[in-house]
Amino acid sequence: MQNYFFHFLTFFIAGLAVNLTPCVYPMLTVTVSLFKPPQGQPVKLLPSFGRALIYVLGMAVMYSSLGVFAAMTGALFGGILQNKWVVLTVAVLMIGLALSMFGVFQINIPSGLLQKLERLRKIRFFGLFFAGMFVGIFAAPCIGPPVLALLTSVADRGNLFFGFMSFFVFSLGLGSPYLILGTFTGLLKKIPKTGNWLMWVEHAFAVILLGFSFYYFVIAINSEFVKWVPPITLIFGGIYLGFIEKSGKEKPLFVRFKWAAGLTSLIFGLSIIASILTPKESLAWDEYKSYKVVMAKEKKQPVVIDFYADWCITCHELENFVFTNPTVIKELKKFVRLRVDATDMMAPAVQEVVEQYRVFGLPVIVFLDGNGREADDARVAGYIPPAEFLKSLELVLGGSNETLIKGR
């Protein structure tokens, strides 16, 4: 089944990185002070950890709920993305969020609401829990744009488990510094001081948001060019963040870090372009028709059915990074390969197949053995690397070979 490790790692790192934005980092010391015991009582390790944990659990409840809500809108999200103008609107929204992180304009929260939340933070335990839940409001100018982008990616998949776990892991990344600093308060004296370098982190998020925007522009115009989005974002982002952006120039060590990060991004982007331009063996897929499944069953042939859509980010990841793998291609040639184009999710023909195979989000790859029965353990939902994909293929091919032998 689906391997979520790399997706969750990305969300965890995103949560950690948000702590380095100008709206959050300066508040670390203030927030950690909330975990101290009442005046006159000694600081104890376990109670301090407990108070910090309550705060982080508040974060987890809020963000996990947002993730589940986004995933529940997955079908609706897929449906509205069939409209080119809606896709272009999402792209423009992403540009707006990026510009806010570049400082062109600011997202401000009403001061009255902030004052009420500040009073709430002073209440012990329940106050800490609710303060954790609403920490995103205090830091909305910095947290809001990347969180909205991540919510969009979750809605794109339409998977409730992925939605919940993604934002649970995100909240753990966001909350881990509070757990550590709240438990070991002496570390507060050792963390770097605030400065212009925080702006570089915010601008890095802005570059990522521009990459999202570029992606939605491309799928609205011509999805064939989606594979060029990551390398172009990496190259231009690396050049800007490494060599043009001026934040933190008063710190020589940080300047060297920027150069290294920019150069790494540039090299990685160029390597992806080189990979794209390298001729690869292509894999042909037939349009799904039910009679083709029946014919394959009569011949005792295994079948692979790929549920795909132009607007699906992960579908393009599978197409460009898994289905181009030579070993995967070799093994897939042993299957009858059928593709369901679910770009128009509301089409009656698509709905019929989606319901038949219990597909609740894209991409999904269904495997049928030589008897036409689905190999449930081999089903793939979302992106998995080639090595993991090959394990699914082996599960099906092993069963089909046994079926063929018995048939003889």
Q: What is the pLDDT of residues 101-114, one digit of tens each?
A: 888 876 555 555 54
The CATH code of the domain that includes 374 is: 3.40.30.10
Residue 100 shares a structural domain with residue 135:
yes
In terms of Cα–Cα distance, which of 244, 254, 171, 172 is closest to 207? 244
Quick: pLDDT tens for 31-54.
777 677 665 566 677 877 888 888
- Rounded CA-CA distance 101/78 in Å is 27
DSSP 333: T
Residue whose structure tokens are 């809500």: 69
Q: 215: Cβ–Cβ under 8 A, 6 or more apart, which residues?
A: 91, 226, 229, 313
300 and 395 fall within a common domain = yes
Are 187 and 113 in a shared domain?
Answer: yes
pTM of this structure: 0.65
Least Cα distance to 378 among 56, 2, 87, 85 occurs for: 2
The domain boundary, picked from 231, 253, 278, lies at 278
Helices (runs of H) and strands (runs of E) counted in the chain: 18, 5
Phi, psi of 80 (to 5 degrees): -70, -25
CA–CA distance, 296 with 118 (Å, rounded to integer): 65
Structural domain ending residue among the three candidates 278, 303, 324: 278
The mean-pLDDT minimum among 116-130, 197-211, 220-234 falls in: 116-130
| Rounded distance between C-alpha atoms, residue 22 and residue 8, angstroms | 24
| % of the chain surpassing 90 pLDDT | 27
Same domain for 191 and 325, yes or no, is no
**Same structural domain, 121 and 23:** yes
Select the highest-mean-pLDDT range: 2-16, 54-68, 233-247: 233-247
Domain count along the chain: 3
Interior/surface letters 245-266, b for 16+ CB within 10 angstroms, e for the rest: bebbeeeeebbeebeebbeebb
351 shares its domain with 243: no
Same domain, 264 and 366: no
Tens-place pLDDT, residues 327-378:
999 999 999 999 999 887 778 999 899 999 988 778 899 999 999 999 888 9
Shared-domain flag, residues 37 and 146? yes
Residues 268, 211 within the same domain: no
State which of 252-256, 281-285, 402-406 shows the largest mean pLDDT.
252-256
246 pLDDT above the threshold of 70 = yes
The confidence score (pLDDT) of residue 80 equals 61
Strands lying side by side in the sheet with 336-341? 286-287, 336-341, 303-308, 364-368, 380-381
Domain holding 333, by residue range, is 286-407
Q: How many of the other CB atoms lie within 10 Å of CB of 305? A: 24
Question: 134 and 243: one domain?
Answer: no
pLDDT tens figures, 124-139: 567 778 777 776 555 5
Overall average pLDDT of the 272-284 stretch: 84
The predicted structure's pLDDT at residue 331: 94
pLDDT at 234 exceeding the cut of 60 = yes
Q: What is the pLDDT of residue 168?
A: 92
Does 271 have pLDDT greater than 70? yes
Q: Other C-beta atoms within 10 Å of 119: how many?
A: 9
Residues 312 and 383 in one domain: yes
Could you tell me if 29 and 177 lie in one domain? yes
Report the alpha-carbon distance of residue 49 to residue 53 in Å, rounded: 6
- Domain boundary (187, 215, 243) is at 215
Residue 405: its pLDDT value, please?
A: 34
The predicted-structure confidence for 169-195, as pLDDT tens digits, reads as follows 999 998 898 888 888 866 766 667 767
CB 132 within 8 A of CB 65: no
